């Protein structure tokens, strides 16, 4: 997904995620820097699902799935992966299906639901 984007689109994604890519001149360097900061295809896809509802990642809008739940990581881990979702301190919000969200709430601590306004304010 990220690898199919143009340099300008990658720069917009980096800006949305707060990744400084001013020193990265090529597409390969941009992709490497995004990956180093935890911006993977999975993270991008999970957050971009809620783009229309939440207003983030406006440079590459995606159709949001009806009924998505926004989940916030409140634990102290710098990164945490569960059920194929990756949460980081810099990007603690992930949009997912209600079933996946409930599975995380049932099996893990340090997660809660988040409102679209909360996520929009965080990424503004």
**Residue 32: count of CB within 10 angstroms of its CB:** 13
Rounded to two decimals, the pTM is 0.49
pLDDT tens for each residue of 73-102 = 999 889 898 888 889 888 898 888 888 889
Q: Under 8 Å CB-to-CB from 48, ≥6 apart: which residues?
A: 56, 57, 60, 61, 62
pLDDT tens for each residue of 31-80 = 888 888 777 777 777 665 544 333 333 332 333 455 678 889 999 889 89
- The residue extents of the domains of the chain are 2-122
């Amino acid at each position: 997904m990220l690898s199919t984007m143009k340099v300008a689109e990658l720069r917009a994604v980096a800006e949305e995620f707060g990744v400084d890519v001013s020193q990265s001149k090529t597409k390969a360097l941009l992709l490497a820097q995004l990956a180093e900061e935890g911006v993977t295809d999975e993270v991008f896809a999970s957050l971009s699902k809620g783009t229309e509802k939440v207003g983030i990642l406006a440079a590459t809008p995606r159709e949001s799935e009806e009924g998505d739940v926004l989940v916030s990581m409140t634990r102290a881990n710098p990164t945490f992966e569960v059920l194929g979702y990756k949460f980081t301190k810099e990007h603690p919000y992930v949009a997912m299906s209600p079933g996946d969200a409930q599975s995380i709430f049932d099996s893990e601590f340090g997660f809660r639901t988040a409102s679209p306004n909360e996520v929009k304010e965080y990424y503004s």
